[in-house]
Amino acid sequence: MSAVAFDQVTKKFGDTVAVDEFSLQIADGEFMVLLGPSGCGKSTALRMIAGLEEISSGILTIGERVVNHIPPRERDIAMVFQSYALYPHMSVEKNIESPLVANKRAKVDATERTRRVHEAAETLGLTEYLARKPGELSGGQRQRVALARAIVRRPEVFLMDEPLSNLDAKLRTQTRLELVDLHRRLGTTFVYVTHDQVEAMTMADRIAVISDGRIQQVGAPQDVYEKPANLFVASFIGSPPMNTILGTLQGGTETAAASVLTAEGTLAIGHPGSAQPGTELVLGIRPEHLHATDPVDTPGAVRATIQNIELLGHERHVICTVGATQMTVRQPNDAPPLAIGQAVSLHADPSEVHLFDPVSTERLN
Amino acid sequence: MATDPTVSAANEQNRLNQNAEQIVDPLVPAPYDNDKAVQPPRSGLRNAVATTTTYLVLTALSVIVLFPIYMLLLRALSSPLKYISAGQPLYPVSIEWDVFNRAFGQASLGRSMGLSFVVTFVIVIAQVLTSVLAAYAFAFLEFPLKKLAFVLVIGTLLLPIEVTLIANVEIIRKLHLLNSVPGLTFPFLVTAIGIFLIRQGFLGIPRDLRDASELDGYGHLRFLFKVAMPMSKAIIGSFIVIAFLGAWNQYVWPRFATDRGAWQTVQVALRTIGSENPGELNLGFAAAIVASLPLLALLIFFQRQIVRGLTAGAVKG
């Protein structure tokens, strides 16, 4: 078994709470991504699994074992660091075999060691670089050496701390695919920390979105994207981020459609869930669910002025001002042309409008 | 020699960008290079003047540094009586190569140098060992009063040997270690400068690497000998040179820790050679040259380590 479980785990550095009552179940063989901005506590959570940070309170379990007080080397985990953390004075071969040599518990005889090192090197395409030092390799190759060092010990859990951050965009995409493929082949639990939502969306079985040391939402990538639990998740996941605008709910029941009165007009939405008419709320609309049309003052739409148009080749982002708020519309490139400074009406797909409580920021519909 | 990692990375990047480069339109002018535009080429004459000035200044400084060494050689090779009667000129009056042989044999310089080698060897080995262990503790371990302990260790640098001289001599005498290798080496087995230098080297090891080694299963001693020391070998190398220089050049302590001629180290022996007979003053100069040969060899072989050690931490990177 190699499931990982946080049960009310807290980590404090002096008076600062880095991780606040974390409770998370990571299933055996799952690819779990901890996603959040810098300083949100995701790396601290990962380092607690590794045993590199002590736990202030709560219980952390790997498999059946409570590991709160078990030293890192006895946890049967492997970690890949953002900086790769390779031993610069050792050859690639020595780097890969180091967990088998250094750890008395994992020690294997020389023949088995050589076999495993060559197997790992072959898996990651490093066979021809075994005699080289890390300084003689490119960033991508170093990253693969770090991965080989991790897989050679056959751990119960792989931990990865922003392993792609130092790679250029093209190599990052390629390595992302390789990591997903590696996870499929090994079937081991992966816990992966990143601030990059694209990495999270493309690799994870499930994502745990973290902010201010707290888990904001846990779910499959598509669920988190389509049903963000609060305003933080809504604005953090998605690029360009979700548009938000303040308004007052008008009409509607749990099953009937409603509209929201904003400063720049009334926007038609779907059924508002449990929200009562007259409630102040924040509307969230993804750029692809917002549409700009030419005649102004269309019913169920808000008035806007086009501030800028960003051409991306396959699509374009129309950035509009709605009163004091900025909203982005994602359009295919072949949509009718629009001009900067033009007045337009913005209307949303009613079923794709998200409603949030402006005070608690929690989702309402 | 390891290939520059940035070069390897750049090569990989170039390979990756190859397709993009192939579709560059040859009719489109290359982007304007600002760096080249703002730096007008220096004229040949200005270059020549700058180079000449640099060489003149460096030559003048070299003469200032080398002049005392030249005079040492001059006085060693010249018969004292002939040299003084010629009015002590800046050029040799007579050259007597035999003086080195006489200095080595006659004044038991060989024996003193042998003793100095033993003493220096013991001090260097002990200082490296104690410095590495203490530096490891100060760099990687957490223990109560760590900062205070480090300040106290570094504080010993402020105490010149003369301050503790009497107390140390008393201790050595009570331990019956006068005129012995332990007596000559005891006060120098631990040194704050070594602890400080090597600690700085250890602190340069990235935290991720320390964490990775912990996960790999390295214990403290294995991490020290397999990772920390190999990664800090430049700074340890330069410390070895510094320790060797200090130990070889010891004068005050050996004067007090010995009272028999047979236990004279080389620097103590130099004081007496040639000083008894004014007609053999050149013997003292020759002995000084012979005594400095090991240091010269050390500097030639380890000059890279010395420079690297002295500039360690001075330049980011």
Average pLDDT over residues A74-90: 92
Check residues A280 and B32 and name the one with the higher pLDDT. Answer: A280
Coil, helix or strand at residue A40: coil
Cβ proximity of A284 and A228 under 8 Å: yes
Neighbour tally for B130: CB within 10 Å:
15
| Per-residue model confidence (pLDDT) at position A279 | 83
Q: Quote the minimal CA–CA distance from B235 to chain A in Å.
A: 15
Beta-carbon contacts of residue B301 (< 8 Å; ≥ 6 apart)? none
Beta-carbon contacts of residue B100 (< 8 Å; ≥ 6 apart)? B76, B286, B289, B290
Neighbour tally for A146: CB within 10 Å:
25
| Per-residue model confidence (pLDDT) at position B279 | 74
Cβ proximity of A113 and A137 under 8 Å: no
Cβ proximity of A316 and A309 under 8 Å: yes
Residues of chain A with CATH 2.40.50.140: 243-356
**Are A103 and B216 in contact (CB < 8 Å)?**
yes
Residues of chain A with CATH 3.40.50.300: 4-236
Coil, helix or strand at residue A173: helix
What average pLDDT is seen over chain B?
82
Radius of gyration of chain B (CA): 28
Please give the share of chain A, as a percent, with pLDDT higher than 90. Answer: 56
User: Among all residues of chain A, which has the CA nearest to that of B217?
Assistant: A103
Which CATH superfamily, name and number, covers B100-311?
A: MetI-like (1.10.3720.10)
In terms of residues, how long is chain A?
365
Tokens, residue B234: 């430049």
Q: Which residues of B touch A99 (CB under 8 A)?
A: 215-217
- Helix pair A139-151, A92-102: axis angle to 10 deg: 30
Neighbour tally for B27: CB within 10 Å:
5
Average pLDDT over residues B249-261: 88
List residues in chain A touching B: CB distance below 8 A: 47, 50-52, 71-73, 77-79, 81-83, 85, 87-89, 98-99, 102-106, 133-141, 149, 168, 170-171
Q: What are phi and psi of A170, to 5 degrees?
A: -65, -45
Beta-carbon contacts of residue B111 (< 8 Å; ≥ 6 apart)? B262
Q: How far is CA A255 from the centre of its chain?
A: 33
Within 210-269 of B, beta carbons closer than 8 Å to A belong to 211-218, 222, 226-227, 230-231
| Of A303, A290, A263, A299, the residue nearest A353 (C-alpha) | A290
**Are A139 and B9 in contact (CB < 8 Å)?**
yes
Please give the share of chain B, as a percent, with pLDDT higher than 70. Answer: 81
**Are B16 and A171 in contact (CB < 8 Å)?**
yes
| Per-residue model confidence (pLDDT) at position A165 | 85
| Helix-strand-coil split of chain A, %, nearest 5 | 25, 35, 40
**Diameter of chain A by CA atoms?**
78
Task: pLDDT band for A257, please (50, 70, 90 cuts).
Answer: low
**Are B11 and A104 in contact (CB < 8 Å)?**
no
Of A4-8, A122-126, A351-355, B1-5, the range with the highest mean pLDDT is: A4-8
Does a cis peptide bond (omega within 30 degrees of 0) precede residue A350?
A: no
Q: Give the span between the Cα atoms of A157 and A154, in whole angstroms.
A: 9
Residues of chain B with CATH 1.10.3720.10: 100-311
Element (H, E) at B125: helix B109-140
Q: Give the span between the Cα atoms of B85 and B93, in whole angstroms.
A: 10
Topology (CATH level 3) of domain A243-356:
OB fold (Dihydrolipoamide Acetyltransferase, E2P) (2.40.50)
Mind listing the pLDDT tens digit for each residue in A290-338? 998 887 667 778 888 999 999 998 899 999 998 888 999 999 988 888 8
CA distances from B305 to A212, B130, B237, B238, B300 (A): 47, 20, 6, 5, 10
Amino acid at B50: A
Q: Give the span between the Cα atoms of A305 and A285, in whole angstroms.
A: 17
| Of A34, A126, A137, the residue nearest A86 (C-alpha) | A137
Average pLDDT over residues A40-64: 94
Q: Quote the minimal CA–CA distance from B10 to chain A in Å.
A: 8
Neighbour tally for A236: CB within 10 Å:
25
Task: pLDDT band for B2, please (50, 70, 90 cuts).
Answer: very low
Element (H, E) at A13: strand A4-13
Beta-carbon contacts of residue B28 (< 8 Å; ≥ 6 apart)? none
Task: pLDDT band for B215, please (50, 70, 90 cuts).
Answer: very high
Reported ipTM: the value is: 0.81
What average pLDDT is seen over chain A?
89
Please give the interface size between A and B, counted as residue pairs whose CB atoms are below 8 Å apart. Answer: 82
Q: Give the span between the Cα atoms of B6 and A318, in whole angstroms.
A: 40
Which CATH superfamily, name and number, covers A4-236?
A: P-loop containing nucleotide triphosphate hydrolases (3.40.50.300)
Q: Give the span between the Cα atoms of A130 and B38, in whole angstroms.
A: 46
Coil, helix or strand at residue A126: coil
Q: Give the span between the Cα atoms of B4 and A348, in whole angstroms.
A: 55
User: Terminal CA-to-CA distance of chain A, rounded, Å?
Assistant: 38
| Per-residue model confidence (pLDDT) at position A302 | 86
Coil, helix or strand at residue A36: coil
Neighbour tally for A222: CB within 10 Å:
10
Q: Give the span between the Cα atoms of B95 and B89, in whole angstroms.
A: 14
- Edge-to-edge strand order for the sheet containing A16-26? A16-26, A4-13, A57-62, A65-66
Q: Quote the minimal CA–CA distance from B134 to chain A in Å.
A: 23
Mind listing the pLDDT tens digit for each residue in A186-219? 899 999 999 999 999 999 999 999 999 999 999 9
Cβ proximity of A73 and A157 under 8 Å: no
Mind listing the pLDDT tens digit for each residue in B25-62? 434 444 444 444 455 556 788 889 999 999 999 999 99
Q: Give the span between the Cα atoms of B47 and B279, in whole angstroms.
A: 54
Cβ proximity of A32 and A218 under 8 Å: no
Q: Which residues of B touch A72 (CB under 8 A)?
A: 211, 214-215
Neighbour tally for B135: CB within 10 Å:
26
Radius of gyration of chain A (CA): 25
